[in-house]
Structure 1
Amino acid sequence: MLGAGLLAKKAVENGLSVLPYIKTSLSPGSGVVTYYLRESGVVPYLEKLGFNIVGYGCMTCIGNSGPIDDNIANTIEKNELVCCGVLSGNRNFEGRIHPNTRANYLASPLLVIAYALAGTVDIDFETQPLGTRADGTRVYLREIWPTRAEIQEVENKHVIPGMFKEVYAKIELGSPSWQALDVPQGKLYGWDPNSTYIKRPPFFDGMTRGLNPRQGVHNARCLLLLGDSVTTDHISPAGSIARNSPAARFLADRGLTPREFNSYGSRRGNDAVMSRGTFANIRLVNKMAPTAGPKTTHHPSGDVMDIFDAADRYASENVPLIAVVGKDYGSGSSRDWAAKGPYLLGIRAVIAESFERIHRSNLVGMGIIPLQFLDGQNADTFGLNGSEVFSIDLPENITPGQIILVQVDNGTTFQVKVRFDTEVDLTYFKNGGILNYMIRKML
């Protein structure tokens, strides 16, 4: 981070700047970083290039670093441009840091500055200049790249133990706004029914002290028919709330304006918002929809709808749902809402060619049945297009890894492997999920 600051300093001193259509922001890992960047005097140079501190931690990786100019966004969408992002974070999935950046590259903080100055990722730093000085001479990256000795000199002078002690000594105090919060008394949380941020979750609705018999899924419709490598970023609500989305309509109906929508991350305590944001990724490719995005086809009507709206319609018809997917379903970072969201949509089973390990476990934790096609088989093997009705019977004494039958209303039947891999998985499932299991254990 100090190296990035020194690179910014040298860039400014050599007359370089960042073009206005390049979005830049800085979200350090902690307040300590801000402290030593300021103490070392590099913050004004970072800000000169547009790298103002806008937040901390996972802000950029989760897509909360703010919008891009509307004109640029409209141009990208109108021309279907593949635009790039360069970030020094740890997530580079398509559309993750912003819906309009499809190709995202992980790089060091210094290279983030360098690519911002270049204004393109299509550059050879060895042979192509970053720009020109006022006198017309070219500026190459090697000329302004700080040496290890330069970085260490600043580090030894400004990154001191007292800095960490001072910042972390105040960590439990929070901001003045946090300290000014009115904290109610009592042991139970006082749910505000009008809150659009935190609402009482429905995960325990209808729960009994004793176990209810768990059965399979009967007369279910397919909500999604997906291909390979669907990540938790395609599934889980993340980033800004699109103005034309079901979540936006929900918030607008409660009197909020688009500038008040905030992000899915900030509203993760409201299941009504999060369920509407599940599978809302604009890059999702659902084979049951005519275009990429959060759409599906409701059956038997044939209506093309937002995924949430279709799920809500099925719920009103008392129709359970399944998803049929390809290989490596749920790859990427482990995300609880990638399992909670599908559960709230009414998905009770997922038939996949293969699962990412942790996501399979998370599905079990929500009481969703993970089923796996036998080797060499997939949806195409049986001509599935998502319009079918599925029934899945689970034996009363099911065992880990058991082979069972899936029956389709067109007369097709095929075998799948039940991906309850352990007895613990079965215990969670019989309880309706890990949340219900823990409550019963506490009782």
Structure 2
Amino acid sequence: MDQEKVNVSVWCIVSLTSIPLIMTLGNSMLIPVLPILEDKVGITSFQSSMIITSYSVAAIFLIPVAGYLSDRFGRRMVILPSLILALIGGLIAGFASWKMDDPYAMIIAGRIIQGIGAAGAMPIVLPLVGDLYQDDDEKISSTLGIIETSNTFGKVLSPILGSIFAAFLWFLPFFSISALSLISIVLIFFFVKAPKDDDEPLKLKEFLRNTKKVFKEEGKWLYTVFLNGVLVMLILFSMLFFLSENLEKVHDIKGIKKGFVLAIPLLLLCIASFISGRKIKGNIGRIKKIIIASLIAMSVSIVFVGFTSKKLILLLVVTSIVGIAIGALLPALDTIITDNIRKELRGTVSSFYSSARFIGVAAGPPIMSLVMKNYLNASYITAGVLGFILLFVVLKFIKVEDIEKNNEMA
């Protein structure tokens, strides 16, 4: 693979981190606003959960397409138009909320357009990092840790900013997403220069054949990573949706104060993500150990969320432990995908992983809205059991020796 070396500047990294930060804000910022939205628009909690889910469902189906297009035509050629779509979607949802008497349908339409934009922006960052650093495993894992930290930092800022914006105008968060997308467009345009690849892109037939071969040879560990992505995001977003509702209805914590309380477990998630990314250093054995330890901590702690729901301090302690476990896990999953797939297939394979994560994001809020009234404890116990089942799948199918051997043969 003949690639021109690219000097990766600080501003390049800042520009890349702006994408997961903004895409995360574009979704998570609305979580603390949902109870207000239910009141202003006159919708149920299930309908309000669809404002999160519609964004994610659109992304699920289009992420693999964006991954293929980024492998075929280049990462920036996909990222920039996608960010423009995210900007347009925010404007549609914002103007509908501002000007229409019954804005729900147009809000959903705007969110779907945003989701389409998210499909071609955030997931493409992962393979782009691999392109920039080529074979430097340590720099790839370290930078992916920074990218994932930006993602999780967006989750920390989301409840605070969402609550602050909504305190001025309840629909202001929609417009803020468009403004932030514009900033990211400018940064990517001026500061991110992908390495020039002198090789001809694979023809579609050859590309599909190679993709099929990758999944045939390495499918067991790839599917295991995908399942991790689904479960951790399902648990995270269902937990955040529950916390937002619980803080208002049980503990009478609202507005900006609720935003800061919601940010506590997310801040610890962010810190854990940063530390994990720094410790991995491209070491597959270390990655597997982090995945195992994180799954154990998450699976044990998530069981107690329902039981502590009426005791605020205990609830925050338990959800913070869950946050730390998920924060440590995410950079490990990012790195094992990005660092062990050939460059010409990296965008597509990592896009399947991103789609898996969005499945969890999409499913979490509506599932929680349906079960939290009558089956709260049972749902969290089920999540813990699923975590332990996934732990055994990791132990069986993520084989360090096999992955390293395949890398040497590639």
Fold match, TM over 0.5?
no
TM-score grouping bracket, smaller chain normalisation: under 0.3
Question: What is the TM-score when the length of structure 2 is the normalising length?
Answer: 0.23
Structure of larger gyration radius: 1
Question: What is the TM-score when the length of structure 1 is the normalising length?
Answer: 0.22
Q: Which structure exhibits the higher relative contact order, with contacts defined as CA atoms closer than 8 Å and separated by 6 or more residues?
A: 2
Structure that is richer in helix per residue = 2
